[in-house]
A and B are shown apart, each in its own frame.
Chain A
Amino acid sequence: MADLLFTLAALVAALAFALAAWRFVKGPRATDRVVAFDALTIISVTGIVLAALITGRSIYLDVALIYALLSFLGVIVAARYLEGGEE
């Protein structure tokens, strides 16, 4: 029972990723892409935690934490850059 729910969760997360990726590709503005990128990285953090659960290795939790930290910094830098103006 728990295993089935587990597989289902991974599939739904993949769907979330695909939806956000659609917005990333579609745009139309740079800000839309950065918003989609922000969502993608957070969904990835979820994916990394799922990977930690599947493999049973806690080292992936450190990876998730650092990934979250770096993506936050990346989004902040991108936002500061966008403030300069587009088109």
Chain B
Amino acid sequence: MILEGVLDTLGALSLLGGTVFLALGGLGLVRMPDVYNRIQAGTKATTLGTLLVLLGAALIVPSWSIKLLLIMLFLMFTNPLSSQVLARAAHRAGVPPVASKDCLAEDAEDLA
């Protein structure tokens, strides 16, 4: 009984922490100056945020943990992947980065 209560509280805390990271990611999306920095803020915060929420859910309802683990693994793989594909698409579409140096644009001619 006591253990259950401890797990519940820990789970709820993990849940809350996860959503705080999600909100920080949202704030990053709003504040960052260009699409690349926005992707950075978006992808990191949402990945950790979602992982913490799923972890919290697994602590509250232990019988769901296998399926939640599957969702975690899936997100850990696909989330950075979609960000990379978006960053690449932005660069190929010619969205200029706010950057002091852009090696990719410098190398673009001899790579074409």
Contact = CB atoms under 8 A, between A and B. Distances in A.
Interface residues of B, number: 53
A83 B38 contact: no
Interface in A71-87: 72, 75-76, 79-80, 82-86
Contact of B64 (A34, A50, A61, A75): A61
Contact of B9 (A1, A29, A84): A1
A82 B19 contact: no
Interface residues of A, number: 51
Interface string B72-104: 001100110111011011101111000000000
A35 B46 contact: no
A42 B12 contact: no
B50 A42 contact: yes
B46 to A, nearest CB: 4
A31 B90 contact: yes
A42 B70 CA distance: 15
A9 B81 CA distance: 27
A23 B29 CA distance: 7
Contacts of A34: 86
A1 to B, nearest CB: 6
Contacts of A84: 93
A21 to B, nearest CB: 9
Contacts of A82: 86, 89-90, 93
B12 A6 contact: yes
Contacts of A69: 74, 78
Interface in A1-46: 1-2, 5-6, 8-10, 12-13, 15-20, 22-23, 29, 31-32, 34-36, 38-39, 42-43, 45-46
24 contacts: A1-B12, A2-B8, A2-B12, A9-B19, A12-B23, A16-B26, A16-B49, A19-B29, A31-B35, A31-B93, A38-B83, A39-B26, A39-B42, A42-B46, A42-B50, A46-B18, A49-B54, A49-B57, A53-B60, A61-B68, A79-B89, A83-B92, A85-B94, A86-B94
